[in-house]
Each structure stands twice: as C-alpha cells, then as structure tokens.
C-alpha cells in the first residue's frame, strides 16, 4: 500500500475545493494555507486536515518570511511532501517554499516563466514561438527604439499580475511616456507590448511527466481586456473540434509548455489570432486552473474536472506511481459560459432555464451560467440570447482594478 503523503495547498482566493476534496479522497493529508479574510468561506472542511491563515500586508501580499518561519515550525512535527499553488498569485510563494525546504516540484526559475510576463516573452522568443513585439521598461533608449520600429497602439502590462489587472492601452508616444514616468520606481515591474487586435483563445491543459495529457481549446467572444475595461459581458465558447484552428492552438500550447519546462500541473494558456495577418501569437500561460469558472465550462464540454484530475496527477507523481495514472473518460460536446456583474445582490436566475443550462452562478452581485450542447451553433445562440437578457435586466460594471483585491 502506498505511503500516505501530506500536501500543503496555498490559495490567496477562495478556489480549489474540488482539488482539496480529490486530494483527500486519494488518501493524502491536506493542509490549506490561505488568507485570514477567507476563513469564513465555504471551504470543504471535511476534506482539509488543518488550516493555516496569514494576515495580508497593506499591498495585499503575504509576508513570506513569516510564512517560512511558520512552515518551519509546523515541519518540526509534521512533514510536508508536496506544495501546490491553487492560484496565480501563489505560484511564486509555492516555489519559494519548495526551494527553502527542498520539496520536489517547480522551483523559482521555472515558476518565473508561468508568472512573469517578461520572462514568458523572452523564453518564448528564445524558443522561436511567435509573440507580439515587446520591450522591458528598464532602459529609455531601448523603449525609444521599440516605439520607432513597432507601430502603436501599445499595451503597458504588469509583469506579475493576473487577468487584465493593471493593463493600459496607449495610442501615442506621449501617452506611453506619461504612463511610464507615472510608474516611478516601479516601472521595472512592467513591460510594453504591441497591441494586436484579434480573436483571443484560452487553452486549458493538464501535463504529466512533461507531456500534455489533456488539452481543450476555447475562444473568448469578447477579449478579456475589452470586457474588463469596457464594461462588457464575459463569454467564451468551445473551439470547433478537429479543425486547423484547434490544431494550431494545441500545437502552440504544447510548444510553450515544453519550452517553459512544465512537468506536472494544470495550465491555462492564452493565444491571439491577429486580424491583420491571421497568425497565432502567444500571449501568456500559467501553472494553474483557469479562473472565472472556466473550469466549469471545460468540464461541461469534455467531462474532465481539471481540479480533480490535477489532484489525482499530483498524488500519482508524489507516490512514484505515474504509470498508474489514467485520464478520466472524455466526451466531445460544445459548451459556453456567460458571466456579468449584476445590479441585484442575488439575481433571479429563472430566465436561464433552457435544457442546455448545466451550471448557474451562485455569487452575490453576479449572474451567469454554463450551457452545453452537441451543436456549437446552439451554444452561441443561447449565449447571445442570455447576453441580451443580462444587458437589459441585470448588467452592472465597475472600473478595472489597478491592483488585485483579495
């Protein structure tokens, strides 16, 4: 019988319940390190052996030296075999802890490729993967050369944020330099990139022993940046199966994960197809399950719960039983997701009653659902109908945050 293992899971946000449940069901001891503010959230407490809480600093971060000291104290009497980051903002924390306590898994150098947008772009360029033109903000002359050879508009992006947080779109060099100067002594934490209008995709995958064992391609109906900054309605739909489109997305994702050194994890990769030249360009990737309930959408169409499957994989690897892991059965159907901020605290979900609705959002001041059908056209029809209802009866918008709020 396999020796029981202890997993320390880290989550700065309320997410990952399916991972925690599956990890415990696999026979592991499960600890959760999370934000003290999240203590009252409905975690799957029956599947978590112990909680560790951290008070956040004024900028929303954890004091990692205190985390290291706390874990060192815990490990005097309780060994920790694996550390898993459940959110983007925890990837660097987990890597630091692994390196400090010599725990197997992704170290700080590799973790940079899955968190630092500048490191991602430099590594992708080195590997010959097509990316939009970019520049670090370290040197004024290098930035000047970039704007001379790369026509605007341009995007200023934080190197280590998630989603569309902190991104600014600039149309003139005057606007660009104004924003760069406004960053002050934090400008090295940002990069500038050429803006390429196009269709934006997210490819969700699972890797084991350096090989992609599951991959699923989806297309945002409106780019996330436009939704976050324009107050739109978030929607995504499964990409048609066995097409040149799906094959191009899968090939680029596999190339990226191989170049970045991905071994064992879920991953969420974003790619854009340029309106100008029709080429696919890599935007960013991560070593976690996609946010915004995209995992619910992927499960609806494929039958694969990314969180549970990831927990099974991590357990198999940690026990040295990789050869025993088998991906759960999959199906090929189409699904779509629609989510919006709502004016109502608890919106009435009665209008979202089509037989194809398989999940509805149960969060304050949010409205949304996932639909599934064998017909992609039916999925798009429902998303269009529900977008009209939400726009007229529910929709609210808020400014995109400059910094993340836990």
pLDDT digits (tens, 9 = 90+) for 120-131: 999 999 999 999
Q: What are the tokens at 238?
A: 């499964």
Query: Is pLDDT of 401 > 60?
Result: no
Q: Which fold has domain 198-396?
A: D-amino Acid Aminotransferase; Chain A, domain 1 (3.30.470)
Pairing of strands 334-342, 395-396: antiparallel
Q: Which CATH class for the 6-105 domain?
A: alpha beta
DSSP 402: S
The whole-model pTM stands at 0.91
Pick the CATH number of 133-194 from 3.40.50.150, 1.20.1260.10, 3.30.1490.20, 1.10.1200.10: 3.30.1490.20
Residues 6+ apart with CB under 8 A from 196: 132, 272, 274, 275, 276, 281
**Domain locations in the chain?**
6-105, 133-194, 198-396
Packed helices 173-182 and 140-149: angle between N→C axes, nearest 10 degrees: 150
Copy the structure tokens of residue 204: 């969700």
347 contacts 402 by C-beta, under 8 angstroms: no
Do 6-105 and 133-194 come out as alike in CATH topology? Answer: no
pLDDT digits (tens, 9 = 90+) for 148-180: 999 999 999 999 875 556 899 999 999 999 999
- CA–CA dist 253, 129 (Å, integer): 10
Q: What is the pLDDT of residue 155?
A: 95
Of the candidates 215, 213, 217, 216, the one whose C-alpha atom is nearest the C-alpha of residue 326 is: 213
- Residue 216 pLDDT more than 60? yes
Q: Extract the tokens encoding 205.
A: 């995958």
Model confidence at 376: pLDDT above 60: yes
CA distance 194 to 277: 14
Q: Decide: 403 and 59 in contact? Cβ < 8 Å.
A: yes
Place of tokens 């030296």: 65
Among the ranges given (199-203, 319-323, 400-404), the one the predictor scored with the smallest mean pLDDT: 400-404
- Please name every residue paired with 369 in a beta bridge, in sequence order, or none if there are none: 338, 360
In sequence order, which residues have a C-beta less than 8 Å from that of residue 45 and are 6 or more positions away?
A: none
- Alpha-carbon distance of 283 to 68, in angstroms, equals 33
- What lies within 8 Å, CB to CB, of 367 at 6+ separation is 339, 340, 342, 344, 347, 349, 361, 390, 394
Q: What are phi and psi of 220, to 5 degrees?
A: -70, 135
């Amino acid at each position: 019988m396999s020796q029981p293992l202890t997993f320390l899971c880290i989550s700065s946000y309320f997410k990952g319940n399916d991972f925690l449940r599956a990890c415990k069901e696999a026979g592991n001891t499960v600890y959760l390190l999370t934000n003290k503010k999240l203590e009252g959230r409905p975690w799957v407490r029956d599947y978590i052996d112990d909680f560790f809480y951290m008070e956040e600093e004024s900028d929303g971060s954890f004091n990692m030296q205190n985390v290291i000291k706390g874990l060192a104290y815990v490990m005097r009497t309780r060994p920790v075999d694996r550390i898993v980051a459940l959110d983007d903002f925890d990837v660097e924390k987990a890597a630091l802890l692994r390196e400090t306590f010599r725990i197997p898994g992704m170290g700080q150098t590799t973790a940079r490729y899955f968190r630092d947008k500048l490191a991602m772009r430099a590594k992708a360029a080195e590997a010959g993967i097509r990316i939009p033109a970019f520049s670090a903000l370290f040197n004024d002359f290098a930035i000047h050369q970039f704007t001379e050879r790369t026509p605007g508009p341009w995007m200023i992006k934080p190197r280590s944020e998630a989603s569309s947080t902190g991104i600014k779109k600039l149309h003139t060099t005057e606007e660009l330099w104004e924003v760069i100067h406004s960053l002050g002594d934090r400008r090295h934490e940002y990069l500038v990139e050429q803006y390429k209008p196009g269709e934006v995709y997210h490819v969700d995958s699972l890797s084991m022993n350096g090989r992609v064992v599951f991959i699923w391609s989806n297309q945002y109906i409106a780019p996330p940046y436009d939704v976050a900054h324009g107050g739109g309605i978030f929607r995504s739909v499964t990409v048609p199966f066995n097409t040149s489109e799906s094959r191009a997305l899968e090939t680029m994702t596999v190339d990226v994960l191989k170049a970045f050194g991905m071994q064992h994890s879920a991953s969420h990769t974003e790619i854009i197809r340029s309106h100008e030249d029709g080429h696919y360009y890599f935007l960013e990737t991560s070593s976690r399950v996609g946010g915004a309930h995209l995992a619910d959408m992927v499960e609806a169409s494929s039958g694969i719960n990314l969180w549970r499957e990831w927990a099974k994989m991590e357990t198999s690897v940690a026990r040295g039983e990789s050869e025993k892991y088998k991906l759960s059965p999959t199906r090929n159907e189409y699904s779509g997701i629609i989510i919006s901020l709502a004016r109502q605290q608890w919106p009435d979900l009665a209008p979202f009653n089509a037989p194809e609705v398989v999940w509805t959002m149960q969060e304050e001041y949010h409205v949304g659902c996932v639909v599934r059908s064998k017909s992609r056209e039916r999925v798009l029809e429902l998303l269009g109908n529900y977008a009209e209802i939400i726009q007229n009866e529910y929709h609210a918008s808020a400014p995109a945050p400059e910094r993340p709020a836990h």
